[in-house]
Chains A and B, each alone.
Chain A
Amino acid sequence: MVRALGLSLALAVLLSGPASSGPVGQGLLVAAAADLRYAFEEMGDAFHRAAGVPVTFSFGSSGQLAFQVEHGAPFDLLFSANEAFVWRLAERGFVVPDSVQLYAVGRIVLWVRGESVLPVQQGLALLVDSRVRYVAMANPEHAPYGEAARQALARSGVLGRVRGKLVYGENVGSALQLVQSGNADVGIVALSLALAPPVSSVGRFWLVPDRLHDPIRQGAGVVARSPRQGEAYRFLRFVNGPQGRPIMRRYGFVLSGEGTSR
């Protein structure tokens, strides 16, 4: 037993060698909200080709990522689904204040699986239909897309009748997963996810009018502790520049002045 313990300890020490030389290497490490997954995987490849710097993404919920930045996570950049999180971090010195900027305004959609018989084009009124038993959305307590979904339900006057059907995902990605796996009938998820090829090929959606919820203003900022701030700024400019904007628009992230494509 002592030998087994010693062996595992020796193994751990041995294995600690290549710890720092993972795929992350000299590239950028970017914390990004779950709604950005597909758009940013494309963005990362485009940036790598253009700038020669590889980008690794850590996708999660905006609240958790902000909490991790505060506690010393080695991220170079934070792309939050809620610009308020980034401003709050900037005020306390965790994010470079001058770097904070808007990079997207998010939209929400009603989403059903391709084989579903539910007429998603009916819009939010569909949710009171008795065939709809569960409606998945992100948790409105902390997820920006969840808060927008709650506002849309309230402003369209169906919240009271839908409340008992709501199931919450930790973030907008887990909400979509609840519908994709067939456990919920309808989801209120991000347009950016609904437009992504792996998702659009298996479902249908209806765009929720943006007058029904406050704008989902998504903000980004350079992490103050990052040792690669020059490259971090470059990626930030890339996302908001002539090469990044078309990718963002294709995934439904429209900035004011760009006009809505839908």
Chain B
Amino acid sequence: MDLSALWTSLKVVSLATALSGTAGIGVAYLLAMRHFPGRGLLQAFTALPLTLPPTVLGYYLLVALGRGSALGQWVEATFKTALVFTWQGAAVAAAVPSLPLVVAAARAAFEEVDVQLLEAAQMDGAGAWQQFVWVLFPLAHRGILAGVTLGFARALGDFGTTLMVAGNIPGRTQTLPIALYDAVQAGRWDLATWLAVLLTGVAVSVLLAVSRLGTRLV
């Protein structure tokens, strides 16, 4: 049971990091490099998950993605499985509160890139995508990596949002933080301690690996 929670957590946090990383970099690029109507609104909305309590965020997501909602029914019809109360749903739940962290770090990294370099690339005939891949991203990668790492850490520790959207189902959606909560509720302090050590171990080893990767990339 303990190891199934570790397995669930690894799956959930991998997908959540991929989701918040991809979406976060995209949003950060738009906020840093583009001017368009509604930019301020987009900025406010992506920061919103930081200000809302996790359970409130979970409530919104459950209502928006639940099997009774239009979006939920579309997902179910398209993928033949509901999103809520699955590990994929848990990943979406964990990705949402991570998103603002990725956006904030990546946006700052994009803004620090010298505009003249981008203009030079443009004069040499590089399109927006080529500028992004060959100039902007390589120059901003350290900030982006920091943001995605923060997002990973936030997703790994997520409790309230995940519990609301995915429930506490052992073997399916019970992540390490939820298993830990369940063990405490059951008065199983030994198991709780063991799970806390496991969760800390996963967090520290991934963060260490990322910082190694970061120094090698410089």
The chain A residues found within 8 Å of chain B, CB to CB, are 1-2, 4-5, 8-9, 11-12, 15-16, 19, 22-24, 29, 34, 37, 56-60, 64, 67-68, 70-74, 173-174, 176-177, 180, 198-199
Contacts and interface: CB of A to CB of B under 8 A. Distances in A.
Contacts of A180: 187
In this complex, the member of B86, B91, B169 whose beta carbon has the largest number of chain A beta carbons within 10 angstroms is B169
Contact of B167 (A1, A2, A58, A199): A58
A174 B172 CA distance: 23
Interface of B: 1, 4, 7-8, 10-11, 14-15, 17-18, 21-22, 62-63, 66-68, 72, 82, 84-88, 91, 137, 141, 144-145, 148, 164, 167-172, 182, 184-188, 213, 217
A56 B169 contact: yes
B169 A29 contact: yes
Nearest to B169: A58
Closest 7 CB pairs of A and B: A22-B171, A72-B67, A23-B171, A71-B66, A12-B15, A9-B18, A15-B11
A74 B141 CA distance: 41
13 contacts: A1-B141, A11-B14, A19-B11, A19-B172, A23-B4, A24-B169, A24-B171, A59-B168, A64-B164, A68-B62, A72-B72, A198-B188, A199-B187
Given A1-B144, A15-B10, A19-B87, A56 B171 contact: yes
Contacts of A72: 66-68, 72, 82, 84-85
Given A56-B169, A72-B67, A199-B187, A8 B14 contact: yes
Determine chain A's interface SS by DSSP, over half rule.
helix
B67 A4 contact: no
A22 B185 CA distance: 22
Determine chain B's interface SS by DSSP, over half rule.
helix
Nearest to B62: A71
Contact of A73 (B167, B184, B187): B167
A58 B170 contact: yes
Given A19-B11, A68-B85, A73-B85, A1 B170 contact: no
Given A5-B18, A8-B18, A22-B4, A68 B187 contact: no
A60 B185 CA distance: 10
A167 B169 CA distance: 28
A70 B63 CA distance: 10
Contacts of A37: 185-186
Contact of A15 (B14, B68, B144): B14
In this complex, the member of B10, B87, B167, B170 whose beta carbon has the largest number of chain A beta carbons within 10 angstroms is B167
A29 B182 CA distance: 16
